[in-house]
A and B are shown apart, each in its own frame.
Chain A
Amino acid sequence: EAQVTQNPRYLITVTGKKLTVTCSQNMNHEYMSWYRQDPGLGLRQIYYSMNVEVTDKGDVPEGYKVSRKEKRNFPLILESPSPNQTSLYFCASSSGQGYNQPQHFGDGTRLSIL
């Protein structure tokens, strides 16, 4: 089944403790992206990647890191999490084949930083 898989789905942690949220897709998609969703603010893009070893900042990259060493994986790293990074996070992927293809989203990761 074609899917985008995020882990963990839920995490409660403390300020300053490094964490990684993994994202994997099995559709051979070139494009991957991370979003956070907060009440009243909608979906905001954190980082995106056009292909392996190619990443760029989205609208709210501060406090986050990403890497794209393999096509299927795009982990989101919080080196020193803070309470304002408490949010619902989504990973998405899209194929670059054809002029316009939809983005496929994972089921989300709910992070609580205390």
Chain B
Amino acid sequence: AQKVTQTQTSISVMEKTTVTMDCVYETQDSSYFLFWYKQTASGEIVFLIRQDSYKKENATVGHYSLNFQKPKSSIGLIITATQIEDSAVYFCAMSPLDSNYQLIWGSGTKLIIKP
């Protein structure tokens, strides 16, 4: 079975701090792609960052970075120096290489940044 699990339904942190959101996945495929997307208050779904399973180095884009722990099937999203506008719902997704580029989605984590 292929599955993506986000156990944190909601996280609240103070502005300018660092937050980590958890995501674990299940797949029998040896090659896969992992994604994090953000859904804003307006409903827009925006791509943030991606990790390819064969890459050992953690991906980083701006103030987003990933903590990829392949033996634990885990891909955490780290946001440093959080801002009010980071408040959103964050989704983790996986695409096994032989899935014809289908995305399997987690249920999302709501992030609230407090001033």
A, B assembled together: no
